[in-house]
Structure formats: structure tokens, C-alpha cells
Amino acid sequence: MACFVKAEHITQLSPRALREMVLEDHVLLPSKEVYVGEEADTFRSQNPNHALLVPFLADVRKAYITTAVYLQKKLPLASPTLTALSALDPLLRGHSQATIQFKRLSGMLRHLLPADQAIQRELVRFNVDLTIPSFKEGECIVDWWGHVFDKPDKYPSLIFCTKQD
């Protein structure tokens, strides 16, 4: 949606609000700002009055809207499981909402773990562990998670869950 909807209309929306958003003109970017790809954008900037530009941009807008409406219906944006799993996003680590979602996640995962695992305490500890380096935008997420998995005694539940087939 960020390719054709004004940022202020999507940045702080809940999954429910995204699902219910009506894609009207006042929330859409002007045609000259809609993402069309690098080559098409170069053509658009070099040929602003080309006869094919207006119908092309109209088709792009229609395609974006059609796709977004379809995805609003099909994506599990309100899934409690996906919401809880979002706590594993390294950018959210240390945030109070991550702790809340970790508690929910621990209840969901309990049946997957050995009975002796104290997953809730482990996930809360993971959320505030200062020995794990902060994740920086653009960093390789696999390498970042490698730091967590280097501590098998500290986070056995997280490691156990990832090793399941």
C-alpha cells in the first residue's frame, strides 16, 4: 500500500483498520508520486506530457487498488498468532508491546515444547537481554538471530522451536 497510499494513512493503523480501509482518492498518492518502478519513473520524469503516460498511470492505480482490495480480504491481518509472532521481530525487542505478545505466544507454543521449559520467563528475558546486540535496519536477520542461538542454555525454547521440522 505504501506504493500508492499516502503514508499518513497507513503508518499507525491497526491490522483491523488496514483491513477496513476504503481506498478513496483522498488517501491515494497523486499519479506523479505513485511507485511505478525505476525505469518507468525515469520515463515519467523525462516525458511528463507523453500521450501514453496518463492511461498507463491510470492502469497502475487500478492494478494497485484491485490488488490491495484482494489482499485486504485474503491476508490474515487480524490473526492472533501472527500478531503474537510479531514479538520476535528484532526491531521490537525491548518494547513493552513485545512483552505482552510474548506472553500470548508462550501460551500458543506450550504444546510444542517439553514440559520442563519455562517459555514465558525465557521470552521476557530475551526481550530485555542486553548481551544480545541491537538489530539495525538493513542488517542480516539470519546473522542477528545467530547471536541468540549462540546462547542455547539461555534460550532453549526459542532454539527448540526453530529446530522442529
Q: Over the stretch 51-83, which tens digit does the pLDDT of each residue have?
A: 999 999 999 999 999 999 998 888 877 788 887
In a domain, 84, yes or no: yes
Q: Please provide the DSSP assignment of 20-88 as one string.
A: H----GGGBPPGGGS---HHHHHHHHH-TT-TTHHHHHHHHHHHHHHHHHHHHHHS-TT-HHHHHHGGG
Residue 110 structural domain:
80-162
Q: Is residue 42 domain-shared with residue 96, that is, in the same domain?
A: no
Question: Would you state the pLDDT for residue 161?
Answer: 61
Place 113 in a pLDDT band, splitting at 50, 70 and 90: low
Q: Is residue 92 domain-shared with residue 112, that is, in the same domain?
A: yes
Least confident among 44-53, 89-98, 104-113: 104-113
Top-confidence residue, 15 or 8: 8
Q: Is residue 150 domain-shared with residue 84, that is, in the same domain?
A: yes
How many domains is the chain built from?
2
Q: Is residue 127 domain-shared with residue 106, that is, in the same domain?
A: yes
Place 115 in a pLDDT band, splitting at 50, 70 and 90: low
Report the predicted TM-score, pTM, of the whole model to 2 decimal places. 0.51
Q: Is residue 35 domain-shared with residue 101, that is, in the same domain?
A: no
Of 109, 131, 129, nearest in space to 118 by CA: 109
In a domain, 1, yes or no: no
In a domain, 96, yes or no: yes
Q: Is residue 86 domain-shared with residue 156, that is, in the same domain?
A: yes
Place 49 in a pLDDT band, splitting at 50, 70 and 90: very high
Q: Is residue 90 domain-shared with residue 68, that is, in the same domain?
A: no
In a domain, 61, yes or no: yes
Place 165 in a pLDDT band, splitting at 50, 70 and 90: very low
Top-confidence residue, 112 or 92: 92
Q: What does the alpha-carbon distance between residue 32 and residue 80 come to, in Å, rounded to a whole number?
A: 38
Mean pLDDT score of the chain, rounded to an integer?
Answer: 82
Q: Is residue 91 domain-shared with residue 61, that is, in the same domain?
A: no
